[in-house]
Amino acid sequence: MSDKLRREKLAIEGGKPVKTTPNPPMFPGGIEIGEEEKKAVLEVLDHRYLFRYYGPEEFPSRVRLLEEEFAKKMGIKYALAVNSCTSALISSLVAVGVGPGDEVIIPGYTFFATCAAVIAAKAIPVICEVDDSLTLDPDDFERKITPRTKAVIPVHMRGVPCNMDRIMDIARKHNIKVVEDTAQACGGSFKGKYLGTFGDCNAFSFQYHKIITAGEGGMVTTNDQLLYDRAQEYHDTAACWRPGGPEKRFSSARYRGELFPGVNFRMPELIGAVARVQLKRLDGLIEKMRKNKARIKEAISNIKGIEFRRLNDPEGDTAICLVFFLPTADLAEKFARALKAEGVEANSIYNKGVPDWHIYAHWEMILNKWTATPEGCPYTCPYYKGPEPRYTPDMCPRTLDLLGRSIHIDIPPQLSEEDCNLIAEAINKVARAYL
């Protein structure tokens, strides 16, 4: 065997792996946590100001400052800090008026929390296809609309913007509320406008896997003061927040629908302190990921037999991952195993035998309509006038086909140029063997 052929032997077949450098974990902001975050936390502790409304001495609430800075950064009027993105989604749905008898359209590829939030708001989730951008398919969204459709949740999945022009046009045409799920795409944009600023109410995440992180936490954004007021009321039991400060908390409602019992989704001051520092890191993290992704993508752009995930706006992609499609699911699974052997953390997104709460076919609780109590709400709600919801694992065949044929590779900002070159070399090596 020639030296060239020996070098080309796949690692999965006993050859030498292309990449032996360590793979940074995909915690973009989490890995960057350092002295600035420590200083911010200690400052809160030194003043013993752990609750956003008061403490033993005067001290500016870090949560309130985060809200102001986040709204300014995103170019939106109102930002409301909460304790998770799930809380942000529920608060947003309640704010826009979703409730018993309503349907909310969601994509079949999103973290389960998107669907769980609909249930928590006492509405029926309607699962929709994604297209080759792996975000909400506008055509299927429009097909799924019924007289009971109250809202849609476009999810900017894996950091890529949805087609917000078409989604907003369809929603406005049918008088449907829009709640953007921007959990995985903070800092991304569509046609020059930040994601999470298009919808009526929108949700962000600061959970540890996200681009910027405080471990947990989330944000609601809106340009509508009424929706902002309603989200505030809901996230804070309607007990503490009132216009004019704590002394006004027991004042009467200013308008019908302003005051109602809510829950406690408040963000703690320590989370707010960390998130403020992380917000300053956002642009730098995205710049590095975009540079890394562009380097890898350019180096594999001539491979015949792969199809890159379509980007609704390439300039707005956060670049947290690289996704491309292969002709068959079997080939994608084989390709991913070979890449792992070459030292690249890759996977095919959908595998029937590997439960993944990001794919509707694995949402056993929804497919079986399991509920916390035997009454079966919201599926059995007397206010719901539609046919009994029916969910099956194969109800979104295009979604499963695309995810099954996919190769997914995380693009941490901590990758070096050498790492990017080796990832591209490994992809080319496997492609020469299998395509």
What are the catalytic residues? 210
Tokens of 160: 């890529």
Instruction: Return all residues near 86 (Cβ < 8 A) that are at least 6 apart.
Output: 113, 116, 117, 120, 218
Helix (H, G, I), strand (E, B) or coil at 89: helix
Tokens of 389: 């919801």
Alpha helices in 48-163 (DSSP H): 62-74, 85-95, 112-120, 138-143
Angle between helices 397-404 and 329-341 (to 10 degrees): 30
Phi first, then psi: what are they for 250, rounded to 5°?
A: -100, 10
Distance CA 173, CA 161 (A): 21
With CA atoms as reference, report the closest residue to 26 among 222, 144, 158, 125.
Answer: 158
With CA atoms as reference, report the closest residue to 182 among 171, 170, 193, 166.
Answer: 193
CB-based contact 344:427 (threshold 8 Å): yes
Paired strand residues for 80: 220
Q: Exposure pattern of 87-96 as b/e (b: 16+ CB <10 Å)?
A: bbbbbbbbbb
Write the DSSP symbol of residue 403: H
Distance CA 115, CA 293 (A): 30
Write the DSSP symbol of residue 31: G
CB-based contact 63:172 (threshold 8 Å): no
Tokens of 107: 């994509």
- The gap between the terminal CA atoms of the chain, to the nearest Å, is 22
Distance CA 30, CA 389 (A): 40
Alpha helices in 96-145 (DSSP H): 112-120, 138-143
With CA atoms as reference, report the closest residue to 429 among 341, 369, 367, 352.
Answer: 341
Tokens of 420: 């990017």
Question: How far, rounded to the nearest angstrom, does the alpha carbon of residue 260 sit from its chain's CA centroid?
Answer: 29
Write the DSSP symbol of residue 236: B
